[in-house]
Structure 1
Amino acid sequence: MKRVNCMACKHYFVTWDMKFPKGCRAFQFKTPNLPSLDVFRSSGEVCLKFEDKRKRGKI
């Protein structure tokens, strides 16, 4: 399984909610885990919405 690093994704964000400190804008949810783990647990697939935020504007 390819592991997805949510912190390198442009959809990842940190919330103010102490119970759900991590979030995904693409799937519109907050979670105590890395969002990619919840996506994998619920669908059995790696996150298909991952977009590397470090590659913005680069060809």
Structure 2
Amino acid sequence: MKESREQRPYCFHCRHFYITHEPATPYGCRAMGFKSAQNPAMVVFSNSGLHCQLFAAKSNKRS
């Protein structure tokens, strides 16, 4: 079964996501406590078969 992009969380819109500035592992997730070369949501899905359960949308401070 092919996974659609619309169903999985988008890490760049999550408040737990951050850029590490480390060339080998540029993406990180503060909620799960890991760094990765891939998008963290993809890593979570490939390892567990579940979508990220800790996704929290960033607050929009723009008015």
TM tier, smaller: 0.7 to 0.9
User: RMSD value over aligned CA atoms?
Assistant: 1.5
TM-score by length of 1: 0.87
Runs of 4+ in 1 over 2 A off after TM superposition: none
TM-score by length of 2: 0.82
Q: Which residue of 2 aligns with 1:32?
A: 37
Q: What are structure 1's unaligned runs of at least 5 residues?
A: none
What is the deviation of 1:54?
A: 3.1
Q: Which residue of 2 aligns with 1:22?
A: 27
Q: Does structure 2 retain, via aligned residues, the 8 Å contact 1:22–1:34?
A: yes
Q: Which has the higher helix share?
A: 1
